[in-house]
Amino acid sequence: MSLASMTAVMCSIIGYIGDKDVAQILIDGLERLEYRGYDSAGIAGLKGDSFTILKRLGRVKNLSDAVEQSMNFGNSGIGHTRWATHGGVSEKNAHPHVSFGGIFTLVHNGVVENYESIKTFLDERGYEFYSDTDTEVLVNLIEYHYRKEQDGGDKFLRSVQKALLHVRGTYGIAVLCKYNICEIVVARKSSPLLIGIGENEMFIASDACAIAAHTKNVVYLNDGELALLTKSDFSITTMKNEKIDAVRCKLDWRMEDVSLGEYEHFMLKEIYEQPLSLANAMRGRFSDDLSTAKFGGLQLSPRELRQIDRIVFCACGTAWHACLVAEYLIERYARIPVEVEYASEFRYRNAPLEKNTLVFIISQSGETLDSFAAMQEAKRKGYMTLAITNVIGSTIARESDGGIYQHSGPEIGVASTKAFTAQLCIVAMLALLLGRLRDMSFDEGTSFVQALVNLPQKISQVLDSGDRIRAIAEKYAHHEHMLFLGRQLMFPIALEGALKLKEISYIHSEGYPAAEMKHGPIALISDKCPCVFLATQSDILQKTISNIQEVRARGARVLVVSSEGNEIPRKCADDLIVIPDTHAALQPILTTIPLQLFAYYIAKARGCEIDKPRNLAKSVTVE
């Protein structure tokens, strides 16, 4: 097993320098970042010329419980949660790591791809290693350069900079030096990192929610930038020693956005926030005559949009399902050919793209590495790249040519809910905009807009049936396999329903086009494998009912989700969830809501840790 494959994949960084006791600030920040996924946690503080370091496996609570009153972490420090792909889950591999000579301690998100050659170089010069991580190689390389550097006011920063010039891979790092008690150095390359500016104090985080309780003023670092922080100031430079003027941003989050409130889990809270998140996604985005949508951030005129001959959507995970819905909607209403690509595949393909091709990247976090790399590849080839993302100031939002913010508010639950439906809402509005630029009539446009305006109220109606959906879910909680089936626009929603269930309940579940069932998956059908059918489209309802009957004939239990007005024969469904009727383009959004509740209540019945499912993290920021 290579060491690089054992390094942290989806980790979190927090740092502080100021006048307050650092330990509790670091732990509070790590607790707010727990949703990102991890298997160990640690903090380091600097007081005088010595480090106090504490690491624990498992939850941040284990770390918090281990902090003793006698421990003095000082007023500057760094913290980290580590997520390993496989192997290497141990306290020795947990961050922070200390250099061989004890001069530096460091936390790191990312992968040092050339760690082996660096380690060999350092081995030959007497450096010893105590962990199995590439991070320890990096902190020792910084020490090596520090020992070679001439003394001077910027020796700490220069040592980090020179070490990083030899690194191939990705990193977000925060470093303490025992000889520089009032300084922290941070740097980033393809791993998110931001600076929080307080009153006579500074914060560092890989995610804004970690510091939202302390400050709303932040600076997002760009790739190839380093920053030197004191408690009262900071400076940013590039790897070439070029000074950077910081661009300060204002967080628009409230503390209640990242607090549970009356809910047991963030996932449930975010499911019930969807009427508001959808309203926010639409606010101010309709024309004065309510016949079309408008997006100020596209950076394309109506004439330029009319010249688009092809659209490529790239994403990962749940966002990829939103791209599939976009394909159906844009081809149907705007008659523009659309292709959907996994970002992780697109970045390595040499896909032929026509001259007037527009590339869309969808990413809730705006930090998904594969999606960012796919966007970079498209930009290298000269294509216009637009982003749909939820995080203002995120890497993808900053680096794209234009885009659309979701305005969903922070999504803490690992399993995406409100961000997904906001993405569906935005791609529906995009289909409306492009359709109206081509051959969609005024009346069709106003009907579409009215349906969008009515959508939050209809979502509330679905949420009002939460207790009934819970009762239905509990009937299915003991099963270990499940199929989700739907046709056309419901196929991506079947995929999403299956993904939600497997993410948080660990039930093996798959989504298929309903008509494809008899081309293989029907072999799985038995009384041990229930099927969820999405039968909302009246024009193909009889086709879907035929598929249901095929499953019923083989003894499977069937749950049907259908729209008001659709006649579902009593003998077809063991359980039936009826949702309000709506415009065909918006059926995917309404159908998603009961599937989210279904997955949530099954996971709850099975006693699963819903907001922190095993092996998963909210944002995948390295390959």
The mean per-residue pLDDT over the stretch 498-522 comes to 90
b/e for 263-287, b at 16 or more Cβ within 10 A?
Answer: eebbbbbbbbbbbbbbbbbbeebbe
Q: Is 61 a catalytic residue?
A: no
Q: What percent of the chain has pLDDT over 90?
A: 73
* Residue 253: predicted pLDDT: 67
The C-alpha angle with vertex 490 and arms to 485 and 493, in degrees rounded to 5, equals 85
* Residue 595: predicted pLDDT: 98
Q: Are 12 and 173 in contact (CB under 8 A)?
A: no
In the CATH hierarchy, which top-level class contains the domain 260-462? alpha beta
437 pLDDT more than 50:
yes
Report which DSSP code applies to 8.
Answer: B
Edge-to-edge strand ranges of the sheet holding 531-535: 508-513, 481-486, 531-535, 558-563, 575-579
| Helix (H), strand (E), coil (C) string for 519-549 | HCHHHHCCCCCCEEEEECCHHHHHHHHHHHH
623 band by pLDDT with thresholds 50, 70 and 90: low
Cα separations in angstroms, 251 against 293, 409, 419: 26, 11, 18
- CA 598 – CA 465 distance, rounded (Å): 11
The 10s digit of each residue's pLDDT in 296-316 is 999 999 999 999 999 999 999
620 pLDDT more than 70:
no
Looking at residue 406, its amino acid is Q
**What residues does CATH 3.60.20.10 cover in the chain?**
4-256
Which residues, in sequence order, are CB contacts of 464 under 8 Å at separation 6+? none
Q: Are 434 and 333 in contact (CB under 8 A)?
A: yes
- CA 473 – CA 421 distance, rounded (Å): 21
Taking phi over 0 as left and psi of -120 to 50 as alpha, with beta for the rest, 346 belongs to alpha
The mean per-residue pLDDT over the stretch 417-432 comes to 98
Q: Is 314 a catalytic residue?
A: no
4 band by pLDDT with thresholds 50, 70 and 90: very low
Pick the closest to residue 10 from 297, 207, 253, 256 (CA basis).
Answer: 207
Which residues, in sequence order, are CB contacts of 3 under 8 Å at separation 6+? 115, 116, 132, 133, 134
The 10s digit of each residue's pLDDT in 337-357 is 999 999 999 888 777 787 899
7 pLDDT more than 60:
no
33 band by pLDDT with thresholds 50, 70 and 90: confident
Pick the closest to residue 83 from 69, 94, 96 (CA basis).
Answer: 94
**What residues does CATH 3.40.50.10490 cover in the chain?**
260-462, 465-623
The mean per-residue pLDDT over the stretch 70-92 comes to 82
- CA 595 – CA 576 distance, rounded (Å): 12
- CA 360 – CA 251 distance, rounded (Å): 25
Q: Which residue has the higher pLDDT, 52 or 69?
A: 52
- CA 592 – CA 121 distance, rounded (Å): 54
Return the residue matching tokens 């790239």.
314
- CA 594 – CA 459 distance, rounded (Å): 10
Window from 23-37, 312-326, 410-424 with minimum mean pLDDT: 23-37
Task: Please state whether the peptide bond connecting residue 569 to the residue before it is cis, i.e. omega within 30 degrees of 0.
Answer: no
Lookup: tokens for 311: 């659209």
pTM for the full model?
A: 0.85
- CA 256 – CA 598 distance, rounded (Å): 26
The mean per-residue pLDDT over the stretch 394-414 comes to 92
Q: Are 445 and 436 in contact (CB under 8 A)?
A: yes
The mean per-residue pLDDT over the stretch 15-27 comes to 95
37 band by pLDDT with thresholds 50, 70 and 90: low
- CA 465 – CA 578 distance, rounded (Å): 9
Half-sphere exposure of 589 (CA within 13 A, CB side): 33
74 band by pLDDT with thresholds 50, 70 and 90: very high
Report which DSSP code applies to 514.
Answer: G
Architecture of the structural domain at 4-256: 4-Layer Sandwich (3.60)
10 pLDDT more than 70:
no
* Residue 621: predicted pLDDT: 52
Angle, in degrees to the nearest 10, between helices 418-436 and 318-333: 20
Half-sphere exposure of 151 (CA within 13 A, CB side): 2
The 10s digit of each residue's pLDDT in 184-230 is 999 999 888 999 999 999 999 998 888 988 999 999 999 999 999 99
* Residue 569: predicted pLDDT: 83
CATH placement of domain 465-623: 3.40.50.10490
Q: Are 314 and 371 in contact (CB under 8 A)?
A: yes
Q: Considering 189, 269, 502, 618, which one is annotated as catalytic? A: 618
Taking phi over 0 as left and psi of -120 to 50 as alpha, with beta for the rest, 381 belongs to alpha
2 band by pLDDT with thresholds 50, 70 and 90: very low
The 10s digit of each residue's pLDDT in 292-301 is 999 999 999 9
What pairs with residue 339 in β-bridges?
Answer: 312
Q: Which residue has the higher pLDDT, 494 or 83?
A: 494
The mean per-residue pLDDT over the stretch 591-613 comes to 95
Average pLDDT, the chain: 91
* Residue 492: predicted pLDDT: 97
The mean per-residue pLDDT over the stretch 51-66 comes to 93
Pick the closest to residue 24 from 58, 70, 75, 59 (CA basis).
Answer: 75
- CA 260 – CA 274 distance, rounded (Å): 15
The mean per-residue pLDDT over the stretch 514-528 comes to 82
Half-sphere exposure of 255 (CA within 13 A, CB side): 4
Which residues, in sequence order, are CB contacts of 148 under 8 Å at separation 6+? none
Angle, in degrees to the nearest 10, between helices 418-436 and 274-282: 30
Neighbours of 472 (CB within 10 A): 19
254 pLDDT more than 80:
no
Q: What percent of the chain has pLDDT over 70?
A: 95
The 10s digit of each residue's pLDDT in 95-128 is 999 999 999 999 999 889 999 999 999 999 999 9
Q: Are 415 and 592 in contact (CB under 8 A)?
A: no
The mean per-residue pLDDT over the stretch 599-613 comes to 94
Which residues, in sequence order, are CB contacts of 610 under 8 Å at separation 6+? 265, 267, 268, 413, 415, 504, 600, 603, 604
Neighbours of 601 (CB within 10 A): 23
- CA 519 – CA 528 distance, rounded (Å): 20
1 band by pLDDT with thresholds 50, 70 and 90: very low
Return the residue matching tokens 């059908």.
525
The mean per-residue pLDDT over the stretch 35-57 comes to 89
Q: Considering 11, 314, 425, 572, which one is annotated as catalytic? A: 11
Question: By CB neighbour count within 10 A (0-12 exposed, 13-18 middle, 19+ buried), where does 151 fall?
Answer: exposed
The 10s digit of each residue's pLDDT in 443-491 is 999 999 999 999 999 999 999 999 999 999 999 999 999 999 999 999 9
279 band by pLDDT with thresholds 50, 70 and 90: very high
